[in-house]
Amino acid sequence: MKRLKWIPALIATLVVFVVLGYSAVYGWGNDKSGSLSSIDLGLDLAGGVSITYQVAGEENPSKEDMSDTIFKLQQRVEQYSTEAQVYQEGSNRINIEIPGVTDANRILEELGNPGKMVFISHLDKDGNENYTYHSGITTDADGNMSLEEGVMPGYQLNKTLEELEKDGSIVLSGTDVASAQVVGQQNEYGQQEPVVSLEFTKEGAQAFGEATKVAYKNNQDTIAIYYDGKFLSVPSVKAEILDGKSIISGNFTFESANELATNIRVGALKLELNELRSNVVGAQLGSDAIRTSLIAAAVGFALIAIFMIVFFRLLGFSATLALGFYCGAIVFLLSAFEMTLTLPGIAGIILSIGMAVDANVLVFARIREEIAAGKAVDDARKSGYNKALSSILDGNITTLIIAVVLRVAGTGTIKGFAETLILGIILSMFTALFVTRWLTSIFYGLGLQSPVLYGKAKKATTKAFVEKRKISYSISASIIAIGIVVMIFNAANGRGAFNYSLDFVGGTSTTVTFDKAYEFNVVESDMVPTIKEATGAKEVLPQAVKGTNQIIFKTGTLNVEQREAFEKVMAEKYGVSGENIAAETISSTISSEMRIDAVKAVIVALILMLIYIWIRFKDIKFGAAAIIALFHDALVVVVAYAISRYAVGTTFIAVILTIIGYSINDTIVTFDRIRENLHLANNKKEFSELVDKSVSQTVTRSLFTSATTFFTVLALFIFGVADIKAFALPLMVGVICGTYSSIFIASPVWYDLKANLKKSSK
């Protein structure tokens, strides 16, 4: 009878799985909401909108002005996609690429031409009105009023901007605005209403304070915000504002307040920009990227399933079902939250899949240990989950810290990586702690209770990790030293320490208009190798312009001879004449601000992890050892790039971040076992034995979880397109390195810190 009560639970669970699977594969409604096909894809997977602006009136604007404008535009366009990229083209052009969207006209209308914004006082120094309100109503000689045809009610300037600037009526410009945001404020009726909050720079605050003094004394007069030929707002000054912070209130809806704040932010750009061109671009990776990624995911899933079932039997079967639930849920949530999926986003999902399996392996290893210790299966299951809980939480929370900091502080592709990683971590914890546990409870309740179905852990053989730690340190130091020597040698010979991709160093963008449209797989398999051979370019990134026969080829900077070789091969092989080929220089996609922000974010994340580990483990030496191990992993991957001359681009940042997140999760599990056994040690010898025993107890789990993650990445490398492989290969190196450091570096370093500090304190 007890078994029968679990049958409804099994049926309900199967129904949930079927509904979730249907959502992931087919979706609901006409828009297929919740399905894989409804997920917004980034520019590298499905194309998007490309817009080019040119600086108005300046052929050679300063680097500082260009850099500041690019940075502010980057923040502006991220409302469309966190994966949006803004970079310089030539000396006075700025290119914007927004993935996952196709309506260029709508975006241009919303984004507008970022032009000059000024704040104008109502009266000039002689008391004359700089602007007046026009009602659109005229009065004839008899005093009859009528609407003037074609005239809309509103404010109008009485002088030109040049005249206003000469007589001092322009009190400050858009560059004096530090921020413009929509916030909630309580009105006189006690209700929350949207208002626009402005903050000014130090110079702007002083100028605005002087202007508000004059306007307030003049019967609470107005100061107009004028941008791109129209009045954005003409608010009255209700008080002298001397702190550089102002509120614009009125009968705003959230949409109208947001529109005003957006226009003010755009008007705060240092440079005035004119739209030069816009188009909808095709995918850089082509449609094959989606298909091959799905094949890789299916192969990786199958390998993990086989591995888990072979080694963990019924527990592994439960984990496989739970992993299927995870895959369906991640697809549904990506669609529901309208998240844009790109290559770095795939990195975040891969890492979270590894963590989902990792948590299950951790629990299962504990259950098998409890069964080996003589406990009944049901007691072993409960005890296994209880004992593994702290390791799972600590490992995932430390990785979550990285993801949250990167989401807050990062820009562009870094945010996309962080978003999918956050989603994956939360979902993987839920899957491991609840879904898998629920499934094992159902199977146990249905009568599958024999210990043979669950397995029994073999007694761990203690290895001398501490005694041989100097060998491990030497191996790591040698690899890093070799990499540094190679970097110095390459730099001295003019090749550069790294083989930087276009993302870092820029290059040449060549637009070719063909007589006919070409399939993207033909472009990748035929044109790209041909261009590389003819020009000697190491990297060629094609983009198809939708609705046209144009293809944009981005390469390293081409000299005159290389450009001529490019044009020659286009003419001879594809019949394209020179007038249908246009080449321009582009700067790096990864701006200095983005690089600085990424470094800052990583440093902040590492500090927060150090604090968290210190608090949780009540010993800062655990945190210090973990950070040292992470630096080790990052350095090894960096020198691997240098030695192999693998292209360093956006995926480089994604790989480093993925490895840091993966490695800390693995290290925390080993540290958790050391903490559990810590009561057994009081002196240097016992600390050595403690580390050896703890690492030996967790080494199998580390190898198992690394294997499951490695399977997924290997499948991506085998089946993925070129850009996917460029990401997968260094990630495989990182997985191996992260596993190595968790076993041979992190715990021995903790021992050295513990033993030496304890010795020095005596």
Q: How far apart are CA 351 and CA 421, in angstroms?
A: 7
Q: Can you count the helices (H) and strands (E) in the chain?
A: 23, 23
Q: How far apart are CA 419 and CA 338, in angstroms?
A: 11
What is the three-class DSSP state of 548?
A: coil
Confidence (pLDDT) at 318: 92
Q: Which amino acid is at 505?
A: V
Residue (of 196, 148, 268, 304) closest to 706 by Cα position: 304
Tell me which residue has tokens 């980057």: 74
Residue (of 609, 752, 631, 759) closest to 691 by Cα position: 752
Q: Which amino acid is at 587?
A: S
List the strands of the sheet with 192-200, edge to edge.
Answer: 177-186, 192-200, 245-248
Asked if 123 and 129 count as a contact pair (C-beta separation under 8 A), the reply is yes
Give the alpha-carbon dihedral of 640, 643, 647, 650, to 10 degrees. Answer: 30
**Beta strand 154-157 with 85-89: parallel, antiparallel or unpaired?**
unpaired
Asked if 386 and 373 count as a contact pair (C-beta separation under 8 A), the reply is no
Written as six digits, the tokens of 292 are: 């091959």
Confidence (pLDDT) at 542: 84
Residues of the chain with pLDDT under 50: 761-762
Q: How far apart are CA 488 and CA 490, in angstroms?
A: 6
- Number of other CB atoms surrounding residue 465 within 10 Å: 22
Residue (of 722, 694, 724, 697) closest to 712 by Cα position: 724
Q: How far apart are CA 174 and CA 204, in angstroms?
A: 9
pLDDT tens digits for 384-436?
A: 888 888 888 888 888 888 888 877 776 666 677 778 888 888 898 899 889 99
Confidence (pLDDT) at 489: 92
Taking CA atoms, 683 is separated from 134, 537, 676, 753, in Å, by: 88, 60, 17, 13
**Beta strand 499-500 with 540-544: parallel, antiparallel or unpaired?**
unpaired
Q: How far apart are CA 757 and CA 751, in angstroms?
A: 10
Alpha-carbon torsion (342, 100, 402, 696), positive or negative = negative
Q: How far apart are CA 364 and CA 422, in angstroms?
A: 24
pTM: 0.67
Alpha-carbon torsion (341, 343, 348, 350), positive or negative = positive
Confidence (pLDDT) at 46: 67
Where does 560-619 have alpha helices with state H?
Answer: 560-574, 592-617
Confidence (pLDDT) at 137: 67
Q: Which amino acid is at 442?
A: I
Q: How far apart are CA 183 and CA 725, in angstroms?
A: 45
Confidence (pLDDT) at 488: 93
Asked if 232 and 263 count as a contact pair (C-beta separation under 8 A), the reply is yes
Q: How far apart are CA 408 and CA 604, in angstroms?
A: 11
Q: Can you give 129-184 as a three-state secondary structure string?
A: ECEEEECCEEECCCCCEEECCCCCCEEEECCCHHHHHHCCCEEEEHHHEEEEEEEE
Q: How far apart are CA 588 and CA 511, in angstroms?
A: 18
Q: How far apart are CA 28 and CA 577, in angstroms?
A: 49
Instruction: Measure the CA angle with vertex 20, ends 16 and 22; round to 5°.
Output: 120
Residue (of 478, 292, 465, 406) closest to 654 by Cα position: 406
End-to-end alpha carbon distance in the chain? 65
Taking CA atoms, 602 is separated from 148, 207, 401, 656, in Å, by: 61, 38, 10, 10
Q: How far apart are CA 458 and CA 368, in angstroms?
A: 9
Domains of the chain: 6-27+31-38+284-453 (1.20.1640.10), 116-268 (3.30.1360), 469-485+591-760 (1.20.1640.10), 507-586 (3.30.70.100)
Confidence (pLDDT) at 625: 92
